[in-house]
Amino acid sequence: MKVSYQWLSEYVDLSGITPHELAEKLTRSGIEVDAVESRNAGVSNVVIGYVKERSKHPDADRLNVCIVDVGQEQDLQIVCGAPNVAQGQKVVVALVGAHLPGDLKIKRSKLRGVESQGMICSAKELGLNDKLLAKDQQEGIMVLPEDAEIGMDAVSYLGMDDYVLELGLTPNRSDCLSMLGVAHEVAAIYGKEVMFPAIEIEENGEANPVQVRIDAKEECHQYHGRHFTDAKIASSPQWMKNRLMAAGMRPINNVVDVTNYVLLEYGQPLHAFDASQVADRSIVVRLAHEGEEIVTLDDQNRKLDAQTLLITDPQKGLAIAGVMGGANSEINDDTKEIILEAAWFTPQTVRSTSRKLGMRTEGCVRWEKGVDPLRVKEAGERAAALIQQLSGAKVSRGVATNVVQEGEAAVVSITLEKINQHLGTSLNASEVSPIFDRLQFPYQVEGSKWTVTVPTRRGDITLPEDLVEEVARLYGYDKIPTSLPTGVTTQGQLTADQQLRRTIRRHLIGAGLHEAISYALVSPERVEDVAGLHEGQTNPVALLMPMSEEHSVLRTSLLPSLLSTVAYNKNRQNHDVSIFELGRVFLQRENVLKELPEERVYVGGAMTGQWMPQNWMGAKQPVDFYQLKGVVESLLHALGIQHVTYKAASDLAGMHPGRTAEVWAEENRLGFLGQVHPGTEKAYDLTETYVFQLDLAKLGEAASDVGHYNQLPKFPAVTRDLALVVNRDVSAGMLQATIREAAGELLESLTLFDVYTGERIAQDKKSMAFSLVFRHPERTLQDEEIQQVTTAVIEALKTATGAELRM
Partner 1 sequence: MQTRLQEMKESALGQISQVTDSTQLQDLRVKYLGKKGELTELLRGMGSLSPEERPLVGQLVNEVREALEAAFTQKQSALDEAVLHAKLASQTIDVTLPGRPVPTGTMHPLSRIIEEIEDIFIGLGFEIAEGPEVEMDHFNFEMLNLPKNHPARDMQDSFYVTDEILLRTHTSPVQARTMLKKQGDTPVKIICPGKVYRRDDDDATHSHQFTQIEGLVVDKGIGMSDLKGTLLTFAKQMFGPTQQVRLRPSFFPFTEPSAEVDLQCFNCGGDGCRVCKQTGWIEILGSGMVHPRVLEMAGYDPQEVSGFAFGMGVERIAMLKYGVEDIRHFYTNDVRFLRQFNRA
Annotated binding site: which residue ranges? Answer: 460, 466, 469-470
Nearer to partner 1, 169 or 641 (CB): 169
Q: Which stretch binds partner 1 (CB under 8 A): 46-54, 84-92, 198-206, 501-509?
A: 501-509
Task: Determine if 523 is a binding residue for partner 1 (CB under 8 A).
Answer: no
Contact 329, 277 (CB under 8 A): yes
C-alpha 415/C-alpha 437 separation (Å) is 16
Contact 91, 51 (CB under 8 A): yes
Task: Determine if 591 is a binding residue for partner 1 (CB under 8 A).
Answer: no
Residue type, 108: R
- Of 50, 223, 580, 684, the one binding partner 1 (CB under 8 A) is 580
Q: Which stretch binds partner 1 (CB under 8 A): 42-50, 234-242, 250-258, 419-427?
A: 419-427
- Of 4, 277, 402, 565, the one binding partner 1 (CB under 8 A) is 565
Pick out residues in 592-651 that bind partner 1 (CB under 8 A).
592-594, 596-597, 599, 611-613, 615-617
Nearer to partner 1, 121 or 554 (CB): 554
Nearer to partner 1, 207 or 517 (CB): 517
C-alpha 654/C-alpha 46 separation (Å) is 74
Pairing of strands 514-515, 577-587: parallel
Q: Which stretch binds partner 1 (CB under 8 A): 56-64, 240-248, 578-586, 740-748?
A: 578-586
Residue type, 508: L
Task: Determine if 16 is a binding residue for partner 1 (CB under 8 A).
Answer: no
Smallest gap from residue 457 Cβ to partner 1 (A): 16
Task: Determine if 282 is a binding residue for partner 1 (CB under 8 A).
Answer: no
Smallest gap from residue 468 Cβ to partner 1 (A): 6
Pick out residues in 665-704 that bind partner 1 (CB under 8 A).
none
Pick out residues in 352-371 that bind partner 1 (CB under 8 A).
352, 368-369
Please, which residues have CB within 8 angstroms of residue 192's CB and are 6 or more apart in sequence? 12, 13, 186
Residue type, 778: E
- Of 25, 124, 449, 473, the one binding partner 1 (CB under 8 A) is 473
Pairing of strands 44-57, 104-105: unpaired
Nearer to partner 1, 232 or 589 (CB): 589
Smallest gap from residue 711 Cβ to partner 1 (A): 33
Q: Which residues are annotated as a binding site for Mg(2+)?
A: 460, 466, 469-470
Nearer to partner 1, 494 or 752 (CB): 494
Task: Determine if 541 is a binding residue for partner 1 (CB under 8 A).
Answer: yes
- Of 74, 430, 483, 537, the one binding partner 1 (CB under 8 A) is 483
DSSP letter for each residue of 764-790: TEEEEEEEEEE--SSSPPPHHHHHHHH
CA distances from 407 to 169, 342, 403, 404 (A): 24, 15, 10, 10
Pick out residues in 708-767 that bind partner 1 (CB under 8 A).
none
Task: Determine if 490 is a binding residue for partner 1 (CB under 8 A).
Answer: yes
Phi-psi domain of 668 (left: phi exceeds 0; alpha: psi -120 through 50; beta: other): beta
Q: Reduced to 3 states, what is the DSSP secondary structure of residue 511?
A: coil
C-alpha 376/C-alpha 403 separation (Å) is 11
- Of 97, 424, 630, 640, the one binding partner 1 (CB under 8 A) is 424
Smallest gap from residue 626 Cβ to partner 1 (A): 15
Q: Report which of 38, 82, 89 is spatially closest to residue 68, judged by C-alpha positions.
A: 89
Task: Determine if 505 is a binding residue for partner 1 (CB under 8 A).
Answer: yes
Pick out residues in 121-180 that bind partner 1 (CB under 8 A).
170-173
Q: Report which of 113, 390, 388 is spatially closest to residue 237, judged by C-alpha positions.
A: 390
Smallest gap from residue 284 Cβ to partner 1 (A): 27
C-alpha 51/C-alpha 589 separation (Å) is 81
Neighbouring-strand partners of residue 32: 168
Kindly write out the interface string for residues 79-108 of this chain, putting x where it contacts partner 1 by CB under 8 A and - elsewhere: ------------------------------
Residue type, 379: A
Nearer to partner 1, 328 or 538 (CB): 538
SS (H, E, C) 67-132: EEECCCCCCEEEEECCCCCCCCCEEEEEEEEEEECCCEECCCEEECCEEECEEECECHHHCCCHHH
Task: Determine if 578 is a binding residue for partner 1 (CB under 8 A).
Answer: yes
CA distances from 19 to 1, 4, 545, 716 (A): 15, 10, 44, 90
C-alpha 254/C-alpha 383 separation (Å) is 11
C-alpha 22/C-alpha 189 separation (Å) is 10
Nearer to partner 1, 144 or 541 (CB): 541
- Of 74, 430, 493, 704, the one binding partner 1 (CB under 8 A) is 493
- Of 62, 110, 131, 572, the one binding partner 1 (CB under 8 A) is 572
Task: Determine if 579 is a binding residue for partner 1 (CB under 8 A).
Answer: yes
Task: Determine if 34 is a binding residue for partner 1 (CB under 8 A).
Answer: no
C-alpha 10/C-alpha 28 separation (Å) is 23
Smallest gap from residue 189 Cβ to partner 1 (A): 11
Task: Determine if 502 is a binding residue for partner 1 (CB under 8 A).
Answer: yes
- Of 180, 304, 395, 423, the one binding partner 1 (CB under 8 A) is 423
Size of site (CB under 8 A) for partner 1:
96
Residue type, 343: A
Task: Determine if 482 is a binding residue for partner 1 (CB under 8 A).
Answer: yes
Please, which residues have CB within 8 angstroms of residue 666's CB and are 6 or more apart in sequence? 643, 702
